[in-house]
Copies of this chain bind each other. A is one copy, B any other.
Amino acid sequence: MRQRSTRATIKQVASVAGVSTQTVSRVINERPDVSPETRKRVQEVIARLGYRPSALARSLIRQRSYTLGVVIAGLKHIGPSRTLSGITIAAEEAGYGLLLKELPYGEEKNIEPIFQALLARHVDGIIWAVPQIGENRSWVQQDLMDLDIPIVYLTMEPRENILVVSINNYMGGQMATSHLLEQGYRNIGHISGPLSWWESRQRMGGWKDTLSGAGIVVNDQQCTEGNWSSASGVEPIQKLFEQYPQMDSVFVGNDQMALAVLQVASQKGIRIPEDLGVVGFDNIPESAYFLPPLTTVQQDQYLVAKIAVEKMIKIIELGWQGLDSVDPQSVILPPTLVVRQSSLRINEKEGGALIGT
């Protein structure tokens, strides 16, 4: 029967083992300068008492907590959750703990208390995984920000003197649109996410510029705006059918809204991909099982998270200068296009072969 009902301290271990706390400290930190016998004796006492060093006391004296703060938003959506999952895995591997704060989407008026809470607990760095919406980055580079710890931002517009790790949403928009052009579609509409989101604007920009680049004129009638949810996809696609009747395909800002497009099309008897090509964004796991399976732009949030954590820890452990010399400041990763039936008008491969890929 071990007794852990009350936490054992280094002092107790020391007294039971008949050594000084210093020696116990040396043992738990695996220092070489302890005699084998002493070490063994101390280890036995540690095991017997169920002693566990206090990370708190250690953090205090070492001025290093081996803990990262994570600020995230929209955890009920799959994208942010995957990002967070990537962060937990990478942090665990590096031996760091994670202090989590979730923000409601919005203008982030009061980030002060968030920082307070994190800094009060002596986090060694902060990963800011809240999407850039509206003016919610106005506080960056303000006097608020002369912190003594590094911050890595995910999913925001790269800037000078800021470390950003993100997916290239603009390129994603280009890839989706190019693919539709290659498939022979010419009248390509777009349903964007909320235009207050940087990511939405990037994806839209990729779409617009690719069309322009192909000599196709783009006007406002060809684009509508949703709010990412499937529910919010219904009206935009109906509106597009009305105001842009010659539309033969549509690039949708995310897979959820694309799902709504498939449903509305089905109700109207519009065949996909014959009458309407559809490309989504995100590659949620379900999109391979939509009717028909959805072509979509995949972003590897795991990789984003992994790189963010690794960069963060590198800065913490080597200091900023260690980074400067080797890595570029910000990292913008290319997405990949996953082609499925919803956009395949040129029938190289038909039917079931592509399902569930």
Q: Which of A112-120, A154-162, A175-183 participates in binding chain B?
A: A112-120
Q: Decide if B146 touches A121 in the complex (CB within 8 Å).
A: no
A78 to B100, CA, bound (A): 18
Chain B residues whose CB sits within 8 angstroms of the CB of A6 once the complex forms? 148
Complex contact B286–A286 (CB within 8 A): yes
Residues from chain B with Cβ under 8 Å of A2 in the complex? 143, 146
Contacts of A293 in B (CB 8 A): 263
A256 to B117 CA separation, bound complex (whole angstroms): 38
Smallest CB–CB gap between A210 and chain B, Å?
28
Q: Which residues of B have CB within 8 Å of A55?
A: 117, 120-122
Residue A279 interfacial (CB < 8 Å): no
Q: Which residues of B contact A147 (CB under 8 A)?
A: 4
Binds B, one of A79-87, A197-205, A307-315: A79-87
Q: Which of A31-39, A217-225, A227-235, A324-332 contacts B (4 or more CB under 8 A)?
A: A227-235
Cα A53 to Cα B290 in complex, Å, equals 52
B291 touches A352 (CB 8 A): no
- The size bracket of the interface on A is 35 or more
In chain A, positions 70-101 with a C-beta closer than 8 Å to chain B are 70, 75-78, 80-82, 84-85, 88-89, 92, 97-101
Q: Which of A14-22, A59-67, A130-138 interfaces with chain B?
A: A59-67
Q: Which of A267-295 contact B (CB under 8 A)?
A: 267, 285-286, 288-291, 293
Q: Is A212 in the interface zone, CB < 8 Å from B? A: no
* CB contact under 8 A between A54 and B7, given known A82-B76, A143-B1, A230-B288: no
Cβ-defined partner of A85 (8 Å) among B65, B75, B120, B143? B75
A57 in contact (CB, < 8 A) = yes
Chain B proximity of A193: nearest CB distance (Å): 15
A262 at the interface (CB under 8 A from B): yes
**Is A356 at the interface (CB under 8 A from chain B)?**
yes
B285:A230 contact, CB within 8 angstroms = yes
Q: Is A350 at the interface (CB under 8 A from chain B)?
A: no
- Which residues in B have their C-beta under 8 angstroms from that of A117? 55, 97
Given A7-B148, A97-B117, A99-B98, A81:B75 Cβ within 8 A: yes
Tell yes or no: A337 within 8 A of B by CB.
no
What B residues does A82 contact at CB under 8 A? 75-76
A100-B88 CB under 8 A given contacts A263-B291, A266-B291: yes
A97 touching B121 in the complex, CB below 8 Å, given contacts A92-B102, A229-B285, A291-B291 = yes
- Tell me, rounded to whole Å, the shortest Cβ–Cβ distance linking A333 to chain B: 18
Contact of A119 among B52, B148, B229 (CB under 8 A): B52
A273 CA to B278 CA, complexed, in Å: 26
Given known A67-B121, A231-B356, contact A146–B4 (CB-CB < 8 A): yes
- Shortest Cβ distance from A107 into chain B, in angstroms? 17
Q: Is the CB of A56 closer than 8 A to any CB of chain B?
A: yes
Cβ–Cβ contact B285 & A54, under 8 A: no
Tell me if A355 counts as interface (CB < 8 A to partner B): yes
- Tell me the minimal C-beta distance from A299 to chain B in angstroms: 14
* Residue contact A122 to B56, C-beta cutoff 8 Å: yes
- Tell me if A289 and B54 are in contact (CB < 8 A): no
User: A42 contacts the other chain (Cβ, under 8 Å)?
Assistant: no
Of B57, B60, B67, B70, which contacts A54 at CB under 8 A? Answer: B60
CA distance A84 to B230 in the complex (A): 22
- A sample of 5 cross-chain residue pairs with beta-carbon separation below 8 angstroms, ordered by A number, consists of A6-B148, A56-B56, A75-B88, A76-B85, A99-B100
